[in-house]
Structure 1
């Protein structure tokens, strides 16, 4: 009773900070949180703490001032710059992109507007995920002509008719910004956003620019870390080239809550959900943000959110603007995939922020399975799959197991990866991507018949799966 009385007597802010620290410490112990977490309420910091190592080679720990590559959170800055130029009369949102990038074909340049680019409804092919685009040159300068060759491929759909996330959109917007300001993207960012917002620990991560206390990026596979491959930042530029801190993103949040960067009308346009997103599917595309609502603490809450997934980094920022609440999570581990762990952290931290009870997280199924395979071998580990599932945090989708399967395949153990995918498809029978992955791993083993069957099932579950269609053509069906 005394303990309960003391807890009730604690100020709400301190109470939430204790619970947030309990959760964050647990996530770090599970190997899912190496980085910095900031949780704020109406500009007041509730919790700000760093975990793990900013540099594993030198054993340098993170601090709350560590700078991270924020990957696609850069798109928020790019969208803000475009809106500022619109306010200044230097462009219109209904301008065609061909006006600024004449190298685009007329079929694209005369049909796609800046509005379409901002909210991912352009239909322009995404270079970032185009098969083979990055092969053996992730760390090298890619000629502009190579980007344009992908962007000039036939549109995937009529502009404005649907949404499809594409970094090509924001690379094009970056070129527009440079043309209309007469400055480099970095110079425009500094003068138009960072200095006005007081974001002194944020910058464009140019190759010749030293950013003090910047984290190194890592990839974790089968419980082991390795340095992320080198990345030539100008290749991703206005779509993913910014480095920042969790503390500076609080400053950005406050600047957007006021009128320091944009007028109320510009913010209304930016934070309108124009079309359903195809990332997680529960929000919609605004300009540089995902916008929508989620039920939290029994009430529908307005949400502004965006994630970043880069080579060696994962980032996520979530705003609850009507309540003035903010959750920022930056990690220096990632392989470019949108892993579910950071979103689970955001959900738990948000629940605590809104006064909800949260149970401590359990290990992920793919981590438990990898450890058991290492300890007991493939056959024994998979025989205990159901027991491991019961011990885990119960995956909501097959993404984690899919990544694990590829990690084994990359080690020359495609048969292990296939066995994992077989269990994954039993858990998530409607996930066509798992069957698509299985087809790829069967091809590695030279089993064309099984690959054909896997791709066929992937296409049955997702008739829009272009990769499955292409592979079935190559396999003679």
Structure 2
């Protein structure tokens, strides 16, 4: 199906579900893209192809790549234990927690926001003001002194705090702020010219505000619902086009070597039937063969989905500045393009 036909189909879906955001896909050097809704509702500023969107946990893969880069340099290994590389006291943590377990959500460390137990991310910030959360160290009081939820094992339990710890390790070894490291050694190397970790009260031009729908149908922005600045577990801002560029840079081995790219995406932990988790996110398997790699992110006022099909180098990215909608648009694009 050609790009114009795809755009027409997605426009029909958008009218049905009132999707606000941008999509960008690439197949056989053909680009498919479209934008809908408002980046700023008050000023009636529309989303466009260069609009930056928050992608929440969709950026955990950047943390994984940063770790892989340090492993390639011989500064770290996947079996290095947490207490061996991070001089911060975690009094109740097992001494066996290692990098592999943190990457695969199997460490058992306590999470500051357990997505299986807590429904509303906004509630977390009632007693912990979001304006004070601007660095990785700012997250530590939320989980540093809590008990382990389990011993390290092969059981998958999605964990945001584990990625904060990975980011702190990157800072410790690189002697750089985590966000500076990613912007320099991942975004710049990949050619992601418009992406970065921005503060919510200092957003650059052409950045979409995140919107949360109220019970009465009105909308509020998410400035008081997410940390003031994102970090290793989520919160980067990207354009959809930049994420297509990212997939290309990653699979042409401009960020890590071919061998390390294979390691990054090697299925590690079974999450569900034919669904695994790798260091680089979810992996959808079909009869023992990798079908696609999956990235996803959700915050109040932010919804992100992206997939990459390695067999034919097809990438699809959907960014939304509302709390839902990206998944439905992604599934429609897969049906039309794949």
Whether these two folds match at TM > 0.5 is yes
Residue of structure 1 in register with 2:326 after alignment: 342
| Structure 1 residues 259-283: Cα deviation after superposition (integer angstroms, max 9, x where no partner) | 11111221111101211237xx652
2:129, 2:158 → 1: CA distance? 20
1:93, 1:19 → 2: CA distance? 46
From 49, 62, 69, give the equivalent of 2:47. Answer: 62
From 273, 279, 303, give the equivalent of 1:314. Answer: 303
**Counterpart mapping for 1:264-283 below 5 A:** 264-277=258-271, 283=275
Kept in 1, the 8 Å contact 2:200–2:223? The answer is no
Q: Does 1:292 align with 2:284?
A: yes
Residue of structure 2 in register with 1:116 after alignment: 101
From 289, 293, 303, give the equivalent of 1:304. Answer: 293
Q: Does 1:324 align with 2:313?
A: yes
Kept in 1, the 8 Å contact 2:58–2:234? The answer is yes
Residue of structure 2 in register with 1:198 after alignment: 191
| Structure 1 residues 385-412: Cα deviation after superposition (integer angstroms, max 9, x where no partner) | xxxxxxxxxxxxxxxxxxxxxxxxxxxx
Kept in 1, the 8 Å contact 2:108–2:149? The answer is yes
Residue of structure 2 in register with 1:233 after alignment: 228
Matched length: 328
1:244, 1:118 → 2: CA distance? 22
From 227, 230, 251, give the equivalent of 2:245. Answer: 251
Secondary structure at 1:163 match in 2: coil
Q: Which has the higher strand share?
A: 2
TM-aligned CA distance change 1:242 to 1:310, over 3 Å: same
Cα root mean square deviation, aligned: 2.5
Kept in 2, the 8 Å contact 1:33–1:331? The answer is yes
| TM score, norm. by length of structure 1 | 0.64
Secondary structure at 1:316 match in 2: strand
Aligned-pair CA distance for 1:153: 2.6
Aligned-pair CA distance for 1:199: 0.8
From 35, 40, 49, give the equivalent of 2:21. Answer: 35
2:290, 2:327 → 1: CA distance? 17
Residue of structure 2 in register with 1:385 after alignment: none
From 93, 96, 108, give the equivalent of 2:78. Answer: 93
2:128, 2:275 → 1: CA distance? 34
Aligned-pair CA distance for 1:345: 2.3
| TM score, norm. by length of structure 2 | 0.89
Higher radius of gyration, 1 or 2: 1
Q: Which of structures 1 and 2 has the larger relative contact order (alpha carbons within 8 angstroms, sep 6+)?
A: 2
Secondary structure at 1:50 match in 2: strand
1:191, 1:228 → 2: CA distance? 27
Residue of structure 1 in register with 2:172 after alignment: 179
Aligned-pair CA distance for 1:104: 4.0
Aligned-pair CA distance for 1:208: 7.2
Residue of structure 2 in register with 1:351 after alignment: 335
Kept in 2, the 8 Å contact 1:273–1:292? The answer is no
TM-aligned CA distance change 1:93 to 1:237, over 3 Å: same
Secondary structure at 2:199 match in 1: coil
**Counterpart mapping for 1:4-83 below 5 A:** 15-42=1-28, 44-83=29-68
1:214, 1:157 → 2: CA distance? 40
TM-aligned CA distance change 1:105 to 1:139, over 3 Å: closer
Kept in 2, the 8 Å contact 1:329–1:342? The answer is yes
1:39, 1:145 → 2: CA distance? 36
TM-aligned CA distance change 1:282 to 1:139, over 3 Å: farther
Aligned-pair CA distance for 1:209: 5.2
Structure 2 unaligned residues grouped into runs of 5+: none
Aligned-pair CA distance for 1:226: 2.2
Kept in 2, the 8 Å contact 1:119–1:288? The answer is no
Q: Which has the higher helix share?
A: 1
1:147, 1:36 → 2: CA distance? 34
1:77, 1:290 → 2: CA distance? 14
Kept in 1, the 8 Å contact 2:283–2:290? The answer is no
TM-aligned CA distance change 1:35 to 1:285, over 3 Å: same
Aligned-pair CA distance for 1:159: 1.3
Q: Does 1:141 align with 2:132?
A: yes
Aligned-pair CA distance for 1:149: 5.3
TM-aligned CA distance change 1:32 to 1:288, over 3 Å: farther
TM-aligned CA distance change 1:98 to 1:106, over 3 Å: farther
Kept in 2, the 8 Å contact 1:101–1:109? The answer is no
2:289, 2:84 → 1: CA distance? 41
